[in-house]
Each structure stands twice: as C-alpha cells, then as structure tokens.
Amino acid sequence: MTKNIIIIFSLLAFSTIVVGQDNGLVANINSPYTKLKSVNLEDVQWTGGFWKEQFDVATQNTLSYMWDLYHNDSITHAYANFEIAAGLMKGKHSGPSFHDGDFYKIMEGMAASYAVTKNPELDKQMDEAIALFGKAQREDGYINTPVLIEERWGTLGPEELKKQLAFEKYNMGHLMTAACVHYRATGKTNFLNIAKGVANYLYDFYKKASPDLARNAICPSHYMGIVEMYRTTKDPRYLELANNLINIRGTTNDGTDDNQDRIPFRQQTTAMGHAVRANYLYAGVADLYAETGEQKLLDNLESIWDDVVYRKMYITGACGALYDGVSPDGTSYDPTVVQKIHQAYGRPFQLPNATAHTETCANIGNVLWNWRMLQITGEAKYADIVELALYNSVLSGVSLEGKEFCYNNPLNVSEKLPFDLRWGSKREGYIAKSNCCAPNITRTLAEVGNYAYNLSKVGLYVNLYGSNHLKSSTLSGEAIEVEQQTNYPWDGKIVLKIIKAPKKEFSFFLRIPGWSQSTTISVNNDNIKEAVVSESYSKLTRKWKKGDIIELNIPMPVQLMQANPLVEETKNQVAVKRGPLVYCLESDDISMIDDINRVVLDVNSDFIAKTISINSRDVVGIKAKAFVETDDWNNMLYKPISTTKRSVDITLVPYYSWGNRLKKEMTVWMAY
Ligand SMILES: [Zn+2]
C-alpha cells in the first residue's frame, strides 16, 4: 500500500515538471536550505575573453576529441562496452571498470554545451548514445557494462559480488547527473527515464543489501546524482536513499579511512583519506544538507573545510597531497589501527610539491563541494575557492589545445629526481590506467558559465568575472539581462551593463575576491559610499533602469606569497600570484639552466606584467629578475651554501599553462 502511494506521488510529481525553470547544474530553486539558487544552463553565454576561449576549446576541440576517443575500440573501448552489453556485438569488456562513468561525464559536457550552443550535431550524438544505454540497461534498471557483459555471455561467475563492489555506483552516479543535465538542456526525457531506472534500482538494492554491500561507495558520485534525481523528479524515495547512504557509512567493521567510512560521517571533523572520494562525499553531503537542513552535516562540513583550506590545500586549490599516506597518523602508537591511504589528504601542512598527487578529479571535487557550500551559505569564501581551483589546479589538467590531460597536477617538475613517479608529470592524450580526469575536466569547462551567477530572493550574485551575456529571470519571474565586459583575469576592470532589471528595488551582489585590496565600485560613474570589503559580496540595491552601468576596478598587483612555516616543503620559498592566478617558472623561460631548483627569485626586482604568447594563446606573463646558483651539486646531499650566483631575467607564466611547450622543468615555489 505504502509503495503504491509513493508511486502515485511520484507520478504526480513528474507531471509538475516545467522545462525552462530551475534548469541549472543543480536544480535547487526549491531546495529549502540553500540561500542562493542556480541560473539556468542556457542563461549565460560567454562573449569574449578568457572563459569564452576556454569554453570554445572545451566544446570545439575537447568534446569532439573525447567523443572520438571513447568510440575508438582499440584505445578506450568505452562505447564498444555498451554495444557488447546491449548484445549488438560479441566481445569482452575492456578498459577500466569506471569507463562507463567517464563516458557519462562526456555526455554531461555535451549536454551542458548543447544548452548554450544548441548545436544539433550534439543532440543527435547524445540521442544515439542514449538509445544504446537503453538497450544495455537491465530490466530492473541496473546498468554497468563490466557486469552486464559477463551476465550476457554467462561468464559472471562467483565473483559477482566482488565486481559489484567495483565502480558501479560511481558509474551510475555519473549517469544520473548527466541525465539530469541532459533533461534540463534538451527538455527530452529519454536519458532521464534511464536514470529513473537506475535510481529505482539503487533504492531497491539498498533496501535489500547487507550493510557490507550497501556501504560500498568508491568515488561516490552517486550521492550528488541521487539528490539531483530527487530535485528533478521530486520522488521522495531518492532523498530517503541519499540520507541512508550517508547513515550507513562507518557502520560496518570493514570500513576504511581511504574511503572515509571507518567512522560515521557525523563523527568526521577533518579531511581524511583519498581526496577524490573525500571531496565527492563532501559535495554529496552538502547536497543532502541543502534538502534536509540537518545542522550536524553542515557543522562537520564547515569543520572539514577549515581543515582543508587552512591546513591541507595547495596554493593552487589542489587537494590530495600524497601518492601514498597512512591514517590515522601521529595519533596512535598502535600499528593495527594504521591504514594505507592512496592519494591521501595526508597530515596538516604536509604539502610536497614534486610528488604532489593532486589529481585533477580531486581539484574538480573541490569546486563541486565549494560551489554547493556557496549556494547553501551565500558566503564569498567558498566562491574564492571555486575561482582558485578553476583557474589553477583544474585548468592545469588540460593543455591549451584541449587534447592532452594531466592526472596529477604537481607544483614542481624536476628532471633531476632519480625516480619515476607512478603517473608521470606531463599531459597525455589518453591516460590508459585512469582517464577519469579528462572527461571530468571536459564537462567542468563546458559548465563554468553556470557557476558565474546565482539568484537569491532579493538579487543577483556575480560570482565569477568574464565577458558574458546573462539573460535570466529573477526568482519572482521578472526578466533580468546583463552584459558583462572585462578582460579578467588579466585585468581587474569589470563593467556590468544593465539591459533589463525588475521594476522594484533589486540588488546586485558583486564578489570582492579574498585576494584583492582597494577595490572600487561605481554606478553610472559615481563611486558607491559603502565600504568595499574583500572576501565578501558588495550589495548594490536600487531601482535599476536600462543602460545603468556598474563598474568594478579590482587592482591586480603582483603578490609574493609565502606558506605557513609548518609547511616544511616550502620553507623560505616564495610563490607569485596575480589576481586569481598562481604563476610558475618553466625551464623554457630561463636560459642556460639545467636545474629549475637552483633558481633564486630576486624579490626586490620589478615584477612587470606583460602579454606573451604560448602556443598561439595570449596570456599575461610576469617579467622579473632571479639568481642562479652556479656551483653544481655534483651528486651531493649537503654542501656549504652557494656563494656564486649569476643574475638572470625570467618570465613567469600562469601555472595552468605549464607544460605546453618543451615540457621540461617547472616550479611554483622558489627560494628567495
Ligand atoms: Zn581523475
């Protein structure tokens, strides 16, 4: 009886869906515990400058490259896995078990791109793939090609349970998210119907599964996915499932710190374990809080955030310091409670540079989490992290041309290191062992426009700056249209031209970055009287009329940065920032040097911002002076301090653009 009522409720809820409203990346207009709401995917069009360039690279180069790559049977086999699972051809599953999920990320990127470009070819390609997913999907909604293929050919065997514990929830999580974005971008229900099958399967599975089976969640994208399904369909079972998925963590004896489930989430107050899994968990918990308002969840997220941002995050916004760490560390002498963690968050202040793991997916996870925290709280500190990670440790994951990708994003690359890192230190077209980051960055760069603005009951939040055209409607349904013009992040002048605004008083909330000082704001050339405070949103309230001009000027001096001295790896070193961008030195930009680590930055030199070209892309470099220690290390571990140095001219380049030339050495931190 109860089940029937739920089904009837669900059907009623489906009939209320209105396309054209609540169509952001997260559909949170009705989420009771978010202060800020998403604009629709199609509302923001990049019109020029930095993000237009990145969006064009993502949609014109990367998406088609990824589509072809994932259709190439001899390289990735991802599409072929679906064809075999659907019975269209014979064969075995090939490639990593998370291939399905990575293909869904490409689909999500295509959908987000379609929302803005309305490119019919994308629509056709997506429909073709969705039809194939439908053929592969089992009657009960299950879809995961490593298992489906063996089921089809009768070779699944007794290891079924083990396979089930692989990346199937990750795969299905990305399917649900991609399907929600596809539905909002196209208004079509073909992908969403498959996702409903998946969500229903998961709901039934978790009802029946033992806690040991139910607890499994590697890189738990399905927390975000199932909450988004709840938001899209209003089916209360999906929210119930999301809550149960968090409840079950830490309730079995085989939980691990690697997987953040040795102790229940509600006992976790610091960041631990595998950084991708951690950040996806935190983003999923934020989604759950947005719907339920359980204070304990938010308290823990805020405590974990403090631990990450003040103790465990790189200056680039990257997360996951260690290839291999242990946990807990330093808290117990009992070796039986110490567990090995891969791509670990590590100890507070443990931030190595050359061996930084900093997987692109962890850095994207940092964006996903902070984006949700921003919408819950409306606090600018979260937008700062979104911006920091996007411009630096996310963008560094892809080449300027958009066809080569980093799995790791180290802050130092030295050819002198006498060992090979597990994942190498350069971009590749296809990372055979784990290509998860490439499709992840593909979808992320197609979606940055949706991060640029938010709506609240009283106004419009401007989170990210870049030339764009916003055409949206307020939460009460009145038209709002704004033209933003800027050369940000190369320049801090931003002009917002009002084209349409509500007739009544309305507020613009302008993000004043935490890194900035002395920002000025004027409206129609009159400076505002209110103080402009860094790491906040400046609120401008009035009756607006067509043609009104808001102008911000955010000074962008070169900033020399140091790390807390507890970070041993960067003691007495300096990094250079300008605006939101972290800079680095590459061996391409310094002559007669065979060791980037012998460069000493002259902090008293002039630092001159100058437009330069890297692979035909204009970026602002920074010219400065440095010294190079001339005596060689000659295989020594220690020697008296160097007394001979020669002065050299150097050009620092934005960190995200490293590795696009000769791919030799690079460093963010330099001695001074
Ligand atoms: Zn990855």
Q: What is the pLDDT of residues 475-526, one digit of tens each?
A: 999 999 999 999 999 999 999 999 999 999 999 999 999 999 999 999 999 9
The answer to whether 646 and 602 are in contact (CB under 8 A) is no
Residue-wise DSSP of 282-314? HHHHHHHHHHH--HHHHHHHHHHHHHIIIII--
Residue-wise DSSP of 46-70? E-SHHHHHHHHIIIIIIHHHHHHHH
Spatial distance between the Cα atoms of 161 and 350, rounded to a whole number of angstroms: 37
- Cα(658) to ligand 1 centroid in Å equals 19
What is the chain's mean pLDDT, rounded? 92
- Cα(361) to ligand 1 centroid in Å equals 4
pLDDT at 364 over 90: yes
What confidence tens digit (pLDDT) does each residue in 648-668 have? 999 999 999 999 998 789 999
Instruction: Find residue 479's DSSP bridge partners.
Output: 473
- Cα(471) to ligand 1 centroid in Å equals 33
473, two tokens: 């409607």
pLDDT value, residue 250: 86
pLDDT value, residue 20: 44
pLDDT value, residue 209: 83
- Cα(90) to ligand 1 centroid in Å equals 30
Straight-line distance from the first to the last Cα atom of the chain, in angstroms, rounded to the nearest whole number:
73
User: Which has the closest alpha carbon to 222: 194, 203, 209?
Assistant: 203
In percent, how much of the chain has pLDDT > 90?
81
User: Which has the closest alpha carbon to 126: 170, 183, 85?
Assistant: 183
- Cα(346) to ligand 1 centroid in Å equals 18
- Cα(504) to ligand 1 centroid in Å equals 46
H-helix or E-strand spanning residue 608: strand 608-614
pLDDT at 165 over 80: no
- Cα(435) to ligand 1 centroid in Å equals 6
Residue 11: pLDDT band by 50, 70, 90 thresholds? very low
pLDDT at 8 over 50: no
pLDDT value, residue 6: 40
pLDDT at 18 over 50: no
- Cα(300) to ligand 1 centroid in Å equals 25
- Cα(563) to ligand 1 centroid in Å equals 27
- Cα(323) to ligand 1 centroid in Å equals 13
Spatial distance between the Cα atoms of 481 and 81, rounded to a whole number of angstroms: 45
What confidence tens digit (pLDDT) does each residue in 283-302 have? 999 999 999 999 999 999 99
pLDDT at 24 over 50: yes
pTM of structure: 0.95
Sequence-distant (6+) residues with CB within 8 A of 21 are: 29, 40
DSSP state letter for 471: E
The answer to whether 659 and 587 are in contact (CB under 8 A) is no
The answer to whether 439 and 23 are in contact (CB under 8 A) is no
- Cα(195) to ligand 1 centroid in Å equals 23
Residue 197: pLDDT band by 50, 70, 90 thresholds? very high
Spatial distance between the Cα atoms of 238 and 200, rounded to a whole number of angstroms: 8
pLDDT at 14 over 70: no
- Cα(30) to ligand 1 centroid in Å equals 31
pLDDT value, residue 243: 96
Sequence-distant (6+) residues with CB within 8 A of 635 are: none
Instruction: Find residue 538's DSSP bridge partners.
Output: 510
pLDDT at 443 over 60: yes
Place of tokens 């041309």: 401
Q: What residues pack around ion ligand 1 (CB closer than 5 A)?
A: 359, 361, 436-437
Spatial distance between the Cα atoms of 305 and 287, rounded to a whole number of angstroms: 15
pLDDT at 541 over 80: yes
User: Which has the closest alpha carbon to 225: 182, 284, 265?
Assistant: 284
What confidence tens digit (pLDDT) does each residue in 60-109 have? 999 999 999 999 988 889 999 999 999 999 999 999 999 999 999 999 99
- Poorest-pLDDT segment among 223-227, 257-261, 446-450: 257-261
The answer to whether 279 and 368 are in contact (CB under 8 A) is yes
- Cα(364) to ligand 1 centroid in Å equals 9
pLDDT at 21 over 90: no
pLDDT value, residue 330: 53
- Cα(359) to ligand 1 centroid in Å equals 6
Residue 331: pLDDT band by 50, 70, 90 thresholds? low
- Cα(510) to ligand 1 centroid in Å equals 33
In percent, how much of the chain has pLDDT > 70?
95
- Cα(493) to ligand 1 centroid in Å equals 35
pLDDT value, residue 64: 95
- Cα(407) to ligand 1 centroid in Å equals 6
The answer to whether 374 and 283 are in contact (CB under 8 A) is no
Residue 17: pLDDT band by 50, 70, 90 thresholds? very low
pLDDT at 214 over 90: no
What confidence tens digit (pLDDT) does each residue in 247-270 have? 988 888 888 888 898 899 999 999
Residue 591: pLDDT band by 50, 70, 90 thresholds? confident
- Cα(285) to ligand 1 centroid in Å equals 20
pLDDT value, residue 334: 75
Spatial distance between the Cα atoms of 586 and 547, rounded to a whole number of angstroms: 45
CA dist list (Å): 10 to 13, 232, 468, 550: 5, 11, 38, 45
pLDDT at 161 over 70: no
- Cα(437) to ligand 1 centroid in Å equals 3
Spatial distance between the Cα atoms of 138 and 198, rounded to a whole number of angstroms: 9
Tell me the average pLDDT across 123-129. 98
pLDDT at 153 over 50: yes
Dihedral over Cα of 566, 567, 569, 570: its sign = negative
- Cα(633) to ligand 1 centroid in Å equals 36
Residue 333: pLDDT band by 50, 70, 90 thresholds? low
Spatial distance between the Cα atoms of 309 and 317, rounded to a whole number of angstroms: 8
